Structures are given as structure tokens and as C-alpha cells.
Structure 1
């Protein structure tokens, strides 16, 4: 299978058919000012199962968290790894072990997502840093699909600060991250700068859809975002 989705499946699938908003490095500041966010691409499951949502206040304000960067001990901050494409993501707490495909942007500026017929795969935003490189690497995935039910990141909201996740890379190395915080944001208040903004430290953001599925719009109103830092 190619590492890139076919051009015919680059648009977000689902009843709503909306794409994920453009969030390339060149437009981060503009999007932050406009209040634009990431538009999810998930479908309601056919059973009664609902994805878990982050508990309010699930953030780690320790020196490794995103809320106290000025207090970081430079001696404990990893310098990062060279660039290498990610191949697999492992999240033990929620039983995820999934392949990763590379994603870019569509001609209209929206971010590609994994095709819904491959909803058990995650996608790496290739224009950004690779996992382990200095900067914020972004991995996205569907929460569910009408065809298969729960998808790759169905249980993402159950993660807690201190949990670990690892990303296998094409160079044979594995980048291991510690969860700093887990939060849910309305899609019209997506924290663009925190997710895609520049950083001199290796970080990871894992994103899916969240909130209560809206039958009328065929969409989830929020995005669940995991903020994590490379373990020294």
C-alpha cells in the first residue's frame, strides 16, 4: 500500500463530507487570528458505543508539560532526532498499535485524512516535523466509521497525563513520548498555535474528533487533542 492516500479519497469522508482545515506552517498565524480549527472526519458508530472524552483539567503542569515551558530544565530536554517518516504508533493504555500513512494538504488547502475505508490507520502531517524531531509533530486519525464502528483513535480521550506512547520510524528508531495533557476543543476554537506552532523541543500532538455526535449535521463538534513530549 502506498504511504499516501489516493487522490480520490483525500477529502474528509462521512455524512457531512467536510474537510479538515488547512494548518500548514505558512498559515498557522493567520488561522490562529481567524479562529479556524481542524474539522473532523468521523462518522457515528452504528451501535450505542460512544468514544470516551477527556476529563476536565487533565493536564500536567510539571516541567515537562506545555503549560510551564519557561521552567524546563535544559539538561533534561532532549535535543531531538533527525527527520525520518513514522511507520507505526503504539498507545498501550488504549490498545492502539496502528500503521501510519503520510498526509499532506489538498488543492483547496485542507488537510488530508486517512480514507474512511482505512479508518484503522493513523495519518502523519508530513509538511510538519517527524515524530522525535524538534517541533510539534502531528498525527491524526478517525474516531469511528459507519462501516467499521470504532476507528483507530476511538479511545484517545481516555488517555491521561503520564501515559506513554511510542512511534516507530523508518530509520529503525522509536520515539517515545509522555502525555502532558489531554483536552477537547470546539472546532471553531481550535488551538492552532499550540498544535502547529513552532517549538524548539520535540513534541507530539495526536488528534481525533470528540464531543457528542450531532445527528443533524452528521459531525462531531469538537476535537480531542493529546499533547505529549519526547522522553529524554
Structure 2
């Protein structure tokens, strides 16, 4: 993750994980399963290798043709994908707080850039929800929220994820619905070169909340962190 020069421009545009993710009708889950090989680089965005049939498009498709990739740019070439529009069934998350920390931040919806990277909000004090996957409160699968870990001059709220203790309460405010509470079940440091996107962006199985950012050792030669910090929380 590349560090930003100001607190308000803490993100990049399309680099792998932390600072700096899918939706699909149930009938097409198996065929459209994401094998997101996410890496958090530059603390700007999460890189994801998405199969053609499962990769979402951020723009409506032209008639009879595959959708043109959306605006964000990156360095990984990808092929056009047939868009699979996710009809939201659960309220969108709007605000995140974590007990015992200063994590008290708005949540914005994000998608996937043309190179298969999960978009991450530029402001270091905003979290991005991967809108093509389950929402917090969905009956199954993992809802993923990601944000930057720091700026060039200071730490961002998500820098505290690595220290969360099991049992910590995470609260998600939702649009037009009651707030949800989750309880932390574990904190994992996952090497970027061994990132398991399938387990993070799961759309079936028990409902979970995943909070993700960069972490581990800063690698000067790569101008990036070597790992991702992944917090898993279950409905309380």
C-alpha cells in the first residue's frame, strides 16, 4: 500500500488491499463464484482476479454486448465480463463503530475496477463495503468492509484492527433498518502473496463480517505492506 501525502487523500485509486470483493442472483452463485486473489498493495485497493462470468461491471451493459469496464484504472489486464446485476435484498450499511477503538466511520458502497481490484474510498476515515457481495445482516456469506491503514503522517482508524480482542463488539448502522451487532471471533495476518480471496469474499455458508486493511511489515522496495489484516466477526 502506498502511503498518501495528506490525511484526506489517504488512498490511491487501484492498488491491491487495505488502504490502499460480488453479488449475483442465487441461481448463478456456483457459476459466478469469485476466485478473488486479493492483495492489498499501496494501501489503495484490493486486487482481485475475477473469472469472466463472475466479475461485476460498474456500468450498465450495451445492448447484446458485454459491459465496458468502469472508470478506475490499474496495471493488471483483464478481459471484459458479462455483468451480473445484484438486486439488493438487505439494507446497505452506512456507519461502522468498533468497541474500545476510535473506529467510528461512515461506510460507502464500492465495486470493482477494470483490473479486478476492489475499490477503496480515498479518505482514510471512510470504509468501503463491497456492494456486489453480501451486506451485513445477510442470511449467508461474508460482508466485506475495507479501508486504509495510514497516511504518510498518521495512522488511520483501521490501523487498530490488528489489536482487536476476541469478543469485541462491532456495530453496523444500516440504511432504514435497525443496527446490527457482531462479535469479533478472530484476527488474522495474511501474506499478500498467499491471499485467500475465496474465503474472504464468500457468498454462502454462515453469515460473517470481514474487516480488512493492510498490515505487517512495511517493504521499502515495494512501497507496500507485506500482509493484510483480516478481522472476522459473527452476528452477536
Settle same-fold status: TM greater than 0.5. Answer: yes
Post-superposition Cα deviations, 1:73-109, rounded to whole Å, max 9, x if no partner, equal xxxxxxxxx5011110000222211011110011222
Deviation at 1:27, TM superposition (A): 5.0
Does residue 18 of structure 1 match 2:18? no
SS at match of 1:183: strand
Cα distance between partner residues in 2 of 1:209 and 1:223? 4
Measured in 2, the distance between the counterparts of 1:131 and 1:41 equals 27
Please point out which of 100, 106, 111 is paired with 1:104. Answer: 111
User: Separation in 2 of the partners of 1:106 and 1:212?
Assistant: 26
Counterpart Cα distance in 1 of 2:136 and 2:181: 9
Instruction: Using the TM superposition, give the Cα deviation of residue 24 of structure 1 relative to its aligned residue in structure 2, in angstroms.
Output: 4.0
The answer to whether the aligner puts 1:179 opposite 2:180 as a matched pair is no
Instruction: Find 2:225's aligned residue among 212, 220, 229.
Output: 220
Change (3 A) 1:20 1:158: closer
In the aligned structure 1, how far is the partner of 2:175 from the partner of 2:128? 15
Structure 1: runs of 5 or more not aligned: 1-11, 44-81
Work out whether residues 141 and 207 of structure 1, in 8 Å CA contact, stay in contact via their aligned partners in 2: yes
CA distance in 1, matches of 2:219, 2:205: 38
Query: After superposition, where does 1:1-232 map in structure 2 within 5 Å?
Result: 13=12, 18-20=15-17, 23-24=21-22, 26-29=32-35, 31=36, 36-42=37-43, 83-115=90-122, 118-134=123-139, 135-146=141-152, 149-231=154-236
Aligned residues: 171
Contact (CA 8 Å) 2:40, 2:213: kept in 1 or not? no
Higher helix residue share: 1
Is this contact kept in 1: 2:91–2:177, CA < 8 A?
Answer: no
User: What is the CA deviation profile of residues 8-63 of structure 1, one whole-angstrom value per residue up to 9, with x for unaligned ones?
Assistant: xxxx619xx73449x4463524x4xxxx33324438xxxxxxxxxxxxxxxxxxxx
Counterpart Cα distance in 1 of 2:186 and 2:206? 16
TM-score under structure 2 length normalisation = 0.66
Aligned CA RMSD, in angstroms, stands at 2.2
Q: Which has the higher contact order (CA 8 A, sep 6+)?
A: 1
Aligned equivalents of 1:189 and 1:110: distance in 2?
A: 16
Shift of 1:155: 0.9
